[in-house]
Amino acid sequence: MKKHSIFKILSITLLLLGTFTTIQAQKQQREFYQLKTYTLENESQENLLDTYLRDAYLPALKRMGIQNVGVFKIHPHPYTLSDKIYVLIPFSSFDILQSVESRLADDKIYKQAGKDYIQASYDHPPYKRVNTVLMTAFEDMPNMRPTKVQGPREKRIYELRSYESPTEAIFKNKVDMFNAGGEVALFDDLGFNAVFYGEVISGDKMPNLMYMTTFTDQESRDAHWKKFGDAPKWKELSTMPKYQNNVSHIDKIFLYPTDYSDY
Output the CA torsion sign for 91, 92, 94, 96: negative
* Alpha-carbon gap, residue 186 to 188, rounded angstroms: 5
Instruction: Pick 13 or 67 by higher pLDDT.
Output: 67
* Alpha-carbon gap, residue 16 to 161, rounded angstroms: 42
* Alpha-carbon gap, residue 33 to 186, rounded angstroms: 23
Could you tell me the pLDDT band of residue 5, with boundaries at 50, 70 and 90? low
Give the model's pLDDT for residue 81.
74
Domains in the chain, please, with CATH? 29-257 (3.30.70.100)
Question: Is pLDDT of 170 > 60?
Answer: yes
Instruction: Pick 13 or 137 by higher pLDDT.
Output: 137
Question: Is pLDDT of 11 > 90?
Answer: no
pLDDT per position as a tens digit, 235-245 = 999 999 999 99
pTM confidence score: 0.88
What does the pLDDT average to over 40-56? Answer: 97
Contacting residues for 76 by C-beta, under 8 A, at least 6 apart: 82
Give the model's pLDDT for residue 77.
82
